[in-house]
Amino acid sequence: MCGRYTLAVEMDELAERFGCPKIDPVIKPRYNVAPSQIMPVVVEHSGQPRLQMMHWGLVPFWAKDKSIGNKLINARVETVEQKVSFKYAIRERRCIVPADGYYEWQKTNTRKQPMRIVIPSDKLFGFADLWEQWNSPDGEAFFSYTILTAPPVSSLVHIHHRMPFILRRDQEDYWLNGLRGTSVEEIRSFLNGLQPQQHFNIYSVSNRVNNPRNDDVQCIEPIA
């Protein structure tokens, strides 16, 4: 699964990496992003990528209230086209969530050790994601997203049995624009064409990340 990630960059770097115009509000570096929080997401708009702020935790357009988003922070790539919560979004509302690392908790004999996982270049990458617009009874638009997960690549098997689906950079445009049909078979063929990032650097971090109120550079500092 993916329950925490980091985006410890400024807006200039984020916008340049994903080829998007800058937006307001100006974001600050984030070291411990948690579900329900509002973060930038890359969406396609009139053929161009742009950043939009959304809540983490998908609220389908048909939901009676937005509390369902607390249960939909992740979607399994193996079944996403079959689930009523995601099958409409996978057809038309795919997006990329920028990050520069994520956390996973590795089980040991006595506890769970938080680990930070980054790509070897230490540069920004993108999670494959879905987004939705839900309208409240008073007409207010609520934008939200969920992060796709997959079985771990070989370099992460020892950490956890799931991982967020991190796109290779050369597949980001494919994720946003590559689907050429809406049938279950066409969507599955499209998903099977995705190639996730394979290589990662992993290191232990402090238990500070267990509490989402801790959101500072100490969260990403390696420990012995």
| pLDDT score of 141 | 96
| pLDDT score of 168 | 95
Cα gap 184→182, rounded to integer Å: 7
Beta strands (DSSP E) in 83-212 are 94-99, 101-107, 112-118, 125-135, 141-150, 163-164, 166-167, 201-204
Q: Name the domain count of the chain.
A: 1
Q: What is the mean pLDDT of the chain?
A: 94
| pLDDT score of 216 | 97
Enter the pTM of the model: 0.95
Q: Looking at residues 20-27, what average pLDDT do you find?
A: 84
| pLDDT score of 35 | 97
Q: Is pLDDT at 25 greater than 80 in this prediction?
A: no
pLDDT digit string, tens, across residues 151-178 = 999 999 999 999 999 999 999 999 999 9
Cα gap 68→59, rounded to integer Å: 6
| pLDDT score of 47 | 82
101: containing domain: 5-220
CATH of the domain at 40: 3.90.1680.10
pLDDT digit string, tens, across residues 50-109 = 999 999 999 999 999 999 999 999 999 999 999 999 999 999 999 999 999 999 999 988
- Catalytic positions, written as ranges: 2, 104
| pLDDT score of 160 | 93
For 194, the 3-state DSSP assignment is coil
pLDDT digit string, tens, across residues 214-223 = 999 999 999 9
